[in-house]
């Protein structure tokens, strides 16, 4: 019996070819994801069953790439956007031009397409700015400007500059908490958990808006270009012809003098946060726990975006998330000094959601 044995080179070719085909084929069957959603500069990787969603979104993602590339001129030629419904994390990797957007959070469920475009667009802005600065904008001292400029660029693309008004409110509150200034911002992300949001972008965005008014929009891109050759202090001096100390002082003064409007509606009245109930329990010499029960149809109100100003002690405090069983609320602990007498006191509650909607309420609490 004669058995056919293929020549060794041919056998190796077949094996290698099979391996290559397996590597290049879309991973629909094994990982249930597809890479088939492609535009000129964007490739979207997402679950196979969401492919139609990806094809609808890739057009906007491509337009966003084009806009940011016109602004910075240093976008990666190809950007991979990985979309996952099993995560809420959002990040980007400069070295590979990869953006990851987790859709599992409440905001991703409320308006998935807008959330994807906004989140991926902000990360594209980061990639472009890192390209312009050759990665040096991500240094500890200048990272707050990278966050701020990324936020400004995505709002320029969306023609939603009114949303940035909320950044001034946040910056004003942070200054009241003594959490604003170059030295403090250099500690990001330790202070803010590294999240990319309007909250973390507010300091850098407001500083850059001030700089833009001094020297024009192009000066902001010159600043990021200068960062690839020098540190932040020298780059600021070179571009704005002023000492960093003077720029910082001017910025902080403007933030302090910012007059918070009663309300700012950046999107719609229905999407803005509403305050249902306020409870306060505490006594002099300890602390008063204020619980805020709020509604947020757009699901983009973060605890860090809620501030309570106690008029008696002149303290500004930031909220945290709380829950009692299935009931969720936002909590703030107001220290009550031992010498404070019984009576009724006023507090001002300010909420800024990620869309830039601002709501302000004046409430009172009583001490026995």
Residues 205 and 167 sit within 8 Å (Cβ to Cβ):
yes
User: Phi and psi of 133, rounded to 5°?
Assistant: -95, 5
What is the number of other CB atoms lying within 10 angstroms of the CB of residue 154? 25
Q: pLDDT tens digit string along 301-313?
A: 999 999 999 999 9
Q: Is the distance from CB of 45 to CB of 26 less than 8 angstroms?
A: no
Sorted by where each begins, the domain ranges of the chain are 31-131, 134-259, 264-367
Mean pLDDT of 95-113: 94
Confidence of residue 194 (pLDDT cuts 50, 70, 90): low
Spatial distance between the Cα atoms of 350 and 28, rounded to a whole number of angstroms: 47
Residues written for the chain: 368
pLDDT tens per residue, range 295-340: 999 899 999 999 999 999 999 999 999 999 999 999 999 998 888 8
C-alpha distance from residue 192 to each of 179, 198, 201, 215, 350 (Å): 11, 11, 10, 30, 19
Give the chain's largest Cα–Cα span. Answer: 107
> Is residue 164 within 8 Å of residue 155, measured between CB atoms?
yes
Q: What's the pLDDT tens digit per position in 10-45?
A: 333 333 333 333 333 344 334 599 999 999 999 999
Residue 339: what are its φ and ψ, rounded to 5°? -85, 0
- What pLDDT was estimated at residue 80? 98
User: What is the per-residue pLDDT for 78?
Assistant: 97
Three-state secondary-structure class, residue 282: strand
Structure-token pair, residue 98: 């990869």
- Which residue reads 């709501």 in tokens? 359
Strand intervals (E) in the chain: 33-38, 42-47, 79-84, 90-93, 98-102, 263-264, 274-282, 287-295, 306-310, 315-318, 320-324, 327-335, 343-352, 358-367
Structurally, at CATH architecture level, domain 31-131 sits in: 2-Layer Sandwich (3.30)
φ, ψ dihedrals at 316, nearest 5°: -115, 125
Fold of 264-367: Immunoglobulin-like (2.60.40)
Is this structure's pTM higher than 0.85? yes
Strand partners for 315? 310
């Amino acid at each position: 019996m004669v058995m056919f044995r293929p020549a060794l080179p041919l056998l190796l070719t077949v094996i290698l070819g099979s391996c290559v085909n397996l590597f290049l084929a879309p991973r629909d069957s094994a990982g249930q994801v597809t890479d088939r959603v492609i535009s000129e500069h964007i490739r979207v990787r997402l679950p196979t069953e969401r492919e139609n969603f990806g094809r609808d979104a890739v057009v906007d993602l491509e337009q966003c790439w084009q806009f940011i590339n016109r602004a910075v001129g240093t976008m990666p030629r190809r950007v991979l956007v990985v979309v996952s419904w099993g995560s809420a994390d959002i990040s980007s990797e400069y070295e590979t031009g990869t953006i990851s957007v987790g859709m599992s959070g409440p905001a991703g469920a409320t308006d998935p397409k807008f959330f994807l475009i906004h989140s991926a667009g902000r990360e594209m802005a980061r990639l472009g700015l890192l390209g312009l600065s050759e990665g040096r904008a991500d240094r500890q001292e200048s990272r707050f400007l990278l966050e701020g400029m990324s936020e400004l660029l995505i709002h320029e693309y969306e023609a939603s500059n009114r949303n940035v008004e909320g950044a001034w409110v946040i910056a004003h509150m942070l200054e009241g908490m003594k959490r604003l200034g170059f030295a403090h911002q250099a500690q990001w992300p330790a202070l803010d958990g590294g999240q990319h949001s309007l909250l973390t972008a507010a300091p850098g965005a407001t500083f850059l808006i001030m700089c833009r008014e001094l020297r024009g929009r192009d000066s902001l891109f010159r600043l990021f270009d200068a960062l690839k050759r020098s540190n932040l202090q020298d780059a600021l001096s070179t571009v704005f012809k002023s000492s960093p100390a003077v720029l910082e002082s001017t910025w902080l003064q403007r933030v302090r003098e910012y007059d918070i409007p009663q309300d700012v509606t950046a999107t719609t009245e229905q999407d803005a946060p509403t305050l249902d109930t306020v409870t306060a329990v505490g006594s002099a010499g300890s602390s008063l726990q204020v619980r805020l029960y709020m509604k947020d149809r757009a699901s983009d109100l973060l605890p860090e975006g809620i501030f309570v100003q106690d008029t008696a002690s002149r303290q500004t405090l930031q909220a945290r998330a709380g829950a009692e069983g299935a009931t969720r609320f936002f909590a703030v602990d107001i220290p009550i000094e031992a010498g404070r007498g019984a009576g009724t006191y006023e507090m001002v509650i300010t909420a800024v959601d990620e869309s830039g909607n601002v709501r302000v309420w004046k409430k009172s609490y009583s001490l026995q």
